[in-house]
Amino acid sequence: MPDRHTRPGAGTTRGPRPAPPPAAPVAPATAAPEPSAGGSAGDPPSVRLLCDVRAPAGLDPAPAGALWKLAEPGRQLDANLVHLPAGERVGAHAEPDLDVLLLVVAGGGAVETPEGTERLADGALFWLPRGSTRAIAAGPEGLSYLTVHRRRPGMQIRPRPS
């Protein structure tokens, strides 16, 4: 069987998308972490569905802020499903330590960088390299997006920038 991870276009299909699976329940962003998917401490972790990102993004009206956060114990990644209501924005900032993937799951808007503005649309996947400056603005229908990055290191004391 060919390795579909090494051939461009392998495993892709053309035509209409199949109907999405029923939405899994979504825990609030402030929920306590669930027990490990592996069961007891000695069991290996198991693959499982965490949530359908379209479900909380489709709430009417969706609350502003983090709608869901990855909270699995022992994880090596952080992930957040964020919603910005129409016209709201995340001000210009830079992440000095981590690359971030941003996937738009609903709505639209723009990511603004010193190099220019890129349109954010449903399904768009952006790489935000560490050190890059960006601001995110929601369009008239609001914006819901998933961010994924390496788990943030613990708090560090740094010298104040000059």
Asked whether the predicted pLDDT for residue 75 surpasses 80, the reply is yes
Are the beta carbons of 86 and 61 closer than 8 angstroms? Answer: no
Q: What is the pLDDT confidence band of residue 37, given thresholds at 50, 70 and 90? A: very low
pLDDT for 153: 58
Over residues 142-147, the mean pLDDT reads: 93
Asked whether the predicted pLDDT for residue 58 surpasses 70, the reply is no
Asked whether the predicted pLDDT for residue 139 surpasses 90, the reply is yes
Report the sign of the C-alpha dihedral through residues 32, 76, 98, 144, in that order. negative
Return the domain boundaries, the chain: 54-150
Asked whether the predicted pLDDT for residue 43 surpasses 80, the reply is no
What is the maximal distance between C-alpha atoms in the chain? Answer: 57
Instruction: Note if the bond before 16 is cis, omega within 30 degrees.
Output: no
Model-level pTM greater than 0.75?
A: no
Q: In which residue are the tokens 């007891």 written?
A: 40
Are the beta carbons of 127 and 99 closer than 8 angstroms? Answer: yes
Q: What is the pLDDT confidence band of residue 41, given thresholds at 50, 70 and 90? A: low
* Cα 146–chain centre separation: 2
pLDDT tens readout for residues 105-122: 999 999 999 999 999 999
pLDDT tens readout for residues 93-108: 988 888 999 999 999 9
| Residue 109 bridge partners (DSSP) | 120, 138
Pick the CATH number of 54-150 from 3.40.50.10800, 3.30.1360.120, 2.60.120.10, 3.20.20.10: 2.60.120.10
Over residues 30-56, the mean pLDDT reads: 63
